[in-house]
Chains A and B, each alone.
Chain A
Amino acid sequence: MPTATKKQKRQVNRRAFLKVTATAAGGLLVSLYLERPAIAQEGAGNEQRRPPAKAYPPDAFINIKPDGKVHITVNRLEFGQGVQTSLPMILADELDADWSQVVPHLAPAADVYKDPVFGIQMVGGSGSIAHSYQQYRELGAKTRAMLVAAAAALLNVPADQCRTQASRVYGPGGKSATYAELAAAAALQPVPAEVKLKNASEFRLIGKKVKRLDSRAKCDGSLKFGLDLQQPGMKVAVVAHPPVFAARVKDFDDKEARKLAGVRDVFEIQLAKGSGVAVVADKFWAAKQARDLLKINWDSTGLDHADSDQLRENFKQLAKTEGKVAKTVGDVKSIANTPPANLIVAEYEFPYLPHAPMEPLNTTIRFDGDSAEAWAGSQFQTFDQMAIAQVLGLKPEKVTFHTEMAGGGFGRRAVPDSHVQREAATIAKRFRGTPIKLIWTREDDIRGGYYRPMHAHRVEVAVGADGFPSAWRHVIVGQSIMAGTPFAMMMKDGIDPTTVEGVADTNYNLPNFQVSSHNPTINVPVLWWRSVGNTHTAYVMETLVEELATRAKTDPIAYRRKLLKPEAKKLRAALDLLDEKSAVWRRRLPAGHAVGFALHESFGTAVACAVDVSITNQRPKIHRATIAVDCGVAVNPLTVESQFQAGVGFGLSQLMAKGEI
């Protein structure tokens, strides 16, 4: 996921105001009215591009119902990260809503739900809380101010003598009124232009360990994911995808497939690249069986058959040459004259990795001629809605796009070419009026590309007399994720920032430093994979720093403290905390155990980690991990803890051969 640069962030016009409406039933509806949605990734020069004001749905964010329930809409996809709990916590805290009455909803695609920094509706770049924290606090605080104003008028008391708690305004002299009672009158109050937010000491929810709101429904089978969606008259589609990426169907025999009961149609469809054969049936099992019976001849003329062994060798050779220079500090020429004893040459290989979210990819679409309705667990609602509209020949706003709960994603549901939605729309177009649920089977997912790109790193480090790097030359080889997508505009001088992030922006003080990258073109679609470039760059940097510390016979924590730039305050704080929290067990390490450290900052969060490892039955075994994190405000520490606890396992899954963890 890209992050907006500081410069881009400054350009974002955060001016937004609330639009409030009373509902017929006496409720209060609040929506955030964005004066100018920013298009962060377009960079400079677009300040004048102000889209005309649009009418947003009035209940876009908050709906206080007469029964006291406070419905809060979350402008993100929930797929495990916990944002469907933490964003309502932020809003409800400033609103002083009764948490037990809060009901969260996932927002459909609409301008009002676009990420205030990125300018598109999405989850990525660790932006959900970072970019919507202020937004959700202000929404809560302004609505609270209006409820207080309504109460002051109703109870005939000064507003500044009122206080709020658990969806109730308390005035002096024991007078009080509930938010539900006040909602209608509050909606008529002027929306405050400015509002005072709480001091951290006043928080009732932010920073507290709050249990997830979706737990029970995820434990009793009642929660509906996108794949569980049922619609009247719905048919299920699967697609036979080409065995070589971007190949085309030459011809196919569907005689046996069509004989199966429940099979409605078999036809060739255009894919994002190449073509495939779609099977539409009443139910999944018939569709899948029919697909298995298809006999398809493919045309892969002129297409590369990517071969991992060959690519690995090519990457290795390429890494010995200088690529496009992404970063230069000082001069690394001294490496050529460094005696071998003082030189570390390290080569790393990282394979293609599928995201393999537990819930297979899917999208349901019903095309009604002049409009359409779509359901998908999407990290990129804006792009996916546009893609469906394009295939169906509609304007995006004619496609009602529902965000469905998703069973994991890790980047796989943030696809710039929206290939799953395009497939689904192409099929739905042929079945006007019939909802079509396209399912990518697990086999489709694993074979289907859009992997974390394969990478090679070659690093040469000249070690000075003091044991610290005197020169560091780093070459990274891997396909560009951004090239050929709308995100290509974030590339400068041909450098894909997602290839070099985590190295080029290192917080270590390297006086002579050069980072260059090669982005070979290979016939394998690639995509961001949880934390993107950092999945391989942090590994390389930190294993090298461990090696350097060992070589210098210095404590790895002390070594890092010296190597860090003075301004790397977050990392330093995380390292200090790690030192403190792991000191006891590190001193009492059993025989045969070793400690490994890592320290990295990405997407604004600094993480320091120490693991207690041994080799058991010829396999590494992790006995304990201590992780120190500076992620800014930990809105829900229970979720943050869970993410890191489980993140250890997720991280290991990319390192262990054959996925054994």
Chain B
Amino acid sequence: MATYKLTINGQAKEVTVDPSTPLLWVLREELSMTGTKYGCGVSACGACTVHVDGVATRSCMLPISLLGNRPVVTIEAMASDPVGRVVQDAWVEKDVVQCGYCQSGQIMSAVALLKSTGKPTETNIEESMGGNICRCATYVRIREAINLASQRLS
């Protein structure tokens, strides 16, 4: 067990956990932030995507001991993020979700994409979103929503 000081959504947090504990489980079980989802545990599905130092990152395979002092941003902060809010609104407007379990991760990946590339091409979208699996396969509407958000942000 070790104690870690974290910055989650701009707030200072402190947790005492086994150093191997992935960031995902620190968020979900130590901080009760369940918006970030467990899907596979092996960085294969993207449901656990958060931003670490602004970069879309799979939290399920990032041991807390390797996080360092990098700030973490999760889905819970997206409603108050200028890009995040636009992306969420586009998602709602396009009625994207079905079961919705992957959508936290989809939105975190989409926000990271739109923050780095204001007007993403189809290839940009494929490259950034390709690691986020939606078992319901809502991909068509995800793409529509990203394009809508991109228009609104430009």
Question: Which residues of A pack against B, CB within 8 Å?
Answer: 79-82, 211-212, 214-225, 227-228, 230, 260-261, 283-286, 289, 356-360, 405-410, 441-443, 638-639, 642-643, 645-650, 653, 661
Question: Are A227 and B38 also in contact (CB < 8 A) when A285-B18, A289-B20, A358-B99 are?
Answer: yes
Residue of B nearest to A442 (CB): B40
8 A Cβ contacts from B127-150 to A: 133-141
Q: Which residues from A are CB-within-8-Å of B33?
A: 221
In the complex, whether B109 has a CB less than 8 A from a CB of chain A is no
Chain B nearest CB from A656 CB (Å) reads 12
Residue of A nearest to B100 (CB): A218
Q: Which residues from B are CB-within-8-Å of A220?
A: 35, 75-76, 78-79, 88
Q: Are A219 and B95 in contact (CB under 8 A)?
A: no
Q: Which residues from A are CB-within-8-Å of B47?
A: 358
Residue of B nearest to A221 (CB): B35
Residue of B nearest to A222 (CB): B35
Question: Are A646 and B139 also in contact (CB < 8 A) when A219-B92, A284-B25, A285-B21 are?
Answer: yes
Which single member of A223, A639, A649 contacts B139 (CB below 8 Å)?
A649
Q: Which residues from B are CB-within-8-Å of A82?
A: 98
Chain A nearest CB from B83 CB (Å) reads 13
In the complex, whether B45 has a CB less than 8 A from a CB of chain A is yes
Q: Are B107 and A219 in contact (CB under 8 A)?
A: yes
Q: Which residues from B are CB-within-8-Å of A218?
A: 97, 100, 103
8 A Cβ contacts from B28-50 to A: 28-30, 32-42, 45, 47
Chain B nearest CB from A617 CB (Å) reads 13
In whole angstroms, what is the CA distance A209 to B39 when docked? Answer: 31
Residue of A nearest to B29 (CB): A283
Chain A nearest CB from B46 CB (Å) reads 10
Q: Which residues from B are CB-within-8-Å of A227?
A: 34, 37-38
In whole angstroms, what is the CA distance A359 to B107 when docked? Answer: 17
Pick 5 A–B contacts, CB within 8 A, sort by A: A211-B92, A211-B95, A215-B97, A285-B22, A408-B99
Q: Are B137 and A647 in contact (CB under 8 A)?
A: yes
Q: Which residues from A are CB-within-8-Å of B140?
A: 645-646, 649
Which of A227, A358, A441, A647 has the most C-beta atoms of chain B within 10 angstroms of its own C-beta? A358
Q: Are B41 and A442 in contact (CB under 8 A)?
A: yes
Question: Are A212 and B95 also in contact (CB < 8 A) when A218-B100, A285-B21 are?
Answer: yes
Q: Which residues from B are CB-within-8-Å of A642?
A: 95, 98, 138, 141
In the complex, whether B113 has a CB less than 8 A from a CB of chain A is no
In the complex, whether B96 has a CB less than 8 A from a CB of chain A is yes
Chain A nearest CB from B136 CB (Å) reads 5
Residue of A nearest to B101 (CB): A407
The 9 closest A-B pairs by CB, nearest first: A221-B35, A407-B101, A649-B137, A218-B100, A80-B99, A80-B98, A221-B75, A228-B34, A358-B101
In the complex, whether B12 has a CB less than 8 A from a CB of chain A is no
Q: Which residues from B are CB-within-8-Å of A79?
A: 99
Q: Are B21 and A358 in contact (CB under 8 A)?
A: no
Question: Are A650 and B136 also in contact (CB < 8 A) when A214-B100, A407-B100, A408-B101 are?
Answer: yes
Additional A-B contacts beyond A216-B88, A221-B35, A230-B32 (5; CB < 8 A):
A211-B93, A358-B133, A359-B101, A407-B37, A442-B42
In whole angstroms, what is the CA distance A214 to B97 when docked? Answer: 8
In whole angstroms, what is the CA distance A225 to B38 when docked? Answer: 11
Q: Are A356 and B135 in contact (CB under 8 A)?
A: yes
Q: Which residues from B are CB-within-8-Å of A407?
A: 37, 99-102
Which single member of B25, B36, B141 contacts A285 (CB below 8 Å)?
B25
In whole angstroms, what is the CA distance A228 to B27 when docked? Answer: 12
Q: Are A221 and B74 in contact (CB under 8 A)?
A: yes
- Interface size of B in residues (CB-CB distance below 8 Å): 52
In the complex, whether B104 has a CB less than 8 A from a CB of chain A is yes
Chain B nearest CB from A476 CB (Å) reads 27
8 A Cβ contacts from B49-89 to A: 74-76, 78-79, 88
In whole angstroms, what is the CA distance A441 to B45 when docked? Answer: 13
Q: Are A442 and B74 in contact (CB under 8 A)?
A: no
Q: Are A360 and B39 in contact (CB under 8 A)?
A: yes
Contact with A along B1-39 (1 / 0, CB 8 A): 100000000000000011011100100111011111111
Q: Which residues from B are CB-within-8-Å of A639?
A: 95
Chain A nearest CB from B123 CB (Å) reads 14
Q: Which residues from B are CB-within-8-Å of A212?
A: 95, 97
Question: Are A221 and B29 also in contact (CB < 8 A) when A442-B39, A647-B137 are?
Answer: no
Q: Are B136 and A646 in contact (CB under 8 A)?
A: yes
Chain A nearest CB from B27 CB (Å) reads 10
Q: Are A406 and B88 in contact (CB under 8 A)?
A: no
Q: Which residues from B are CB-within-8-Å of A409?
A: 99
Q: Are A357 and B135 in contact (CB under 8 A)?
A: yes
In whole angstroms, what is the CA distance A362 to B61 when docked? Answer: 21
Residue of B nearest to A262 (CB): B18
Chain A nearest CB from B142 CB (Å) reads 10
Q: Which residues from A are CB-within-8-Å of B107?
A: 219
Question: Are A638 and B95 also in contact (CB < 8 A) when A220-B35, A285-B18 are?
Answer: yes
Which of B92, B93, B95, B96 has the most C-beta atoms of chain A within 10 angstroms of its own C-beta? B95
Q: Which residues from A are CB-within-8-Å of B101?
A: 225, 357-359, 407-408
Q: Which residues from A are CB-within-8-Å of B40?
A: 442
Residue of A nearest to B78 (CB): A220
Q: Are A284 and B29 in contact (CB under 8 A)?
A: yes
Residue of B nearest to A260 (CB): B18
Q: Which residues from A are CB-within-8-Å of B141?
A: 642, 645-646
In whole angstroms, what is the CA distance A410 to B99 when docked? Answer: 11
Q: Which residues from A are CB-within-8-Å of B28?
A: 228, 284
Chain B nearest CB from A25 CB (Å) reads 32
Q: Are B137 and A646 in contact (CB under 8 A)?
A: yes
Residue of B nearest to A261 (CB): B1
In whole angstroms, what is the CA distance A638 to B2 when docked? Answer: 50
Q: Are A646 and B99 in contact (CB under 8 A)?
A: no
Q: Which residues from A are CB-within-8-Å of B137?
A: 646-650, 653, 661
Q: Which residues from A are CB-within-8-Å of B21?
A: 285
Q: Which residues from B are CB-within-8-Å of A638?
A: 95
Residue of B nearest to A648 (CB): B137
Q: Are B88 and A646 in contact (CB under 8 A)?
A: no
Q: Which residues from A are CB-within-8-Å of B98?
A: 80-82, 408, 642-643, 646
Q: Are A285 and B134 in contact (CB under 8 A)?
A: no
Which single member of A289, A360, A408 contacts B38 (CB below 8 Å)?
A360
Question: Are A408 and B135 also in contact (CB < 8 A) when A228-B34, A285-B29, A359-B37 are?
Answer: yes
Which of B32, B78, B135, B141 has the most C-beta atoms of chain A within 10 angstroms of its own C-beta? B135
Q: Which residues from A are CB-within-8-Å of B99?
A: 79-80, 357-359, 406-409
Question: Are A358 and B37 also in contact (CB < 8 A) when A646-B140, A647-B137 are?
Answer: yes
Q: Which residues from B are CB-within-8-Å of A230?
A: 32, 34
Q: Are A216 and B25 in contact (CB under 8 A)?
A: no
In whole angstroms, what is the CA distance A211 to B91 when docked? Answer: 11
